[in-house]
């Protein structure tokens, strides 16, 4: 993650505020953002770069950092989002 976009403490910047962001409860939304990226905001897609376990670990980190505590996102959930590949 780029601290210039999200802020070193998740406070936001060019990107969204992550600290205290209840939208992060939706791990599928977080993982989708990582998989598909947001090219218009300078975030490339990582679907072809990272494995399911890596996407799940990043998703879980985002869901549980900056004062958030929203549980675990699994590699199996990422695989399901990819269509089981």
Which residue, chain included where needed, has tokens 């985002």? 62
The whole model's pTM is what?
0.83
Cα 29 to the center of its chain, rounded Å? 8
Asked if 74 contacts 56 with a C-beta cutoff of 8 angstroms, the reply is: yes
Q: Could you report the per-residue pLDDT of 18-45, keeping only the tens digit for each?
A: 888 889 999 999 999 999 998 887 889 9
Q: Could you report the per-residue pLDDT of 32-78, keeping only the tens digit for each?
A: 999 999 888 788 999 999 999 999 999 999 999 999 999 999 999 99
């Amino acid at each position: 993650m780029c601290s210039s976009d999200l802020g070193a403490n998740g406070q936001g910047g060019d990107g969204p505020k992550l600290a205290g962001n209840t939208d992060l409860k939706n791990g599928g939304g977080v993982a989708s953002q990582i998989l598909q990226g947001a090219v218009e905001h300078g975030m490339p897609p990582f679907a072809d770069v990272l494995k399911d376990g890596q996407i799940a670990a990043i998703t879980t980190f985002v869901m549980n950092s900056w004062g958030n505590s929203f549980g675990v996102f699994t590699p199996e959930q990422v695989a399901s989002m990819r269509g089981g590949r």
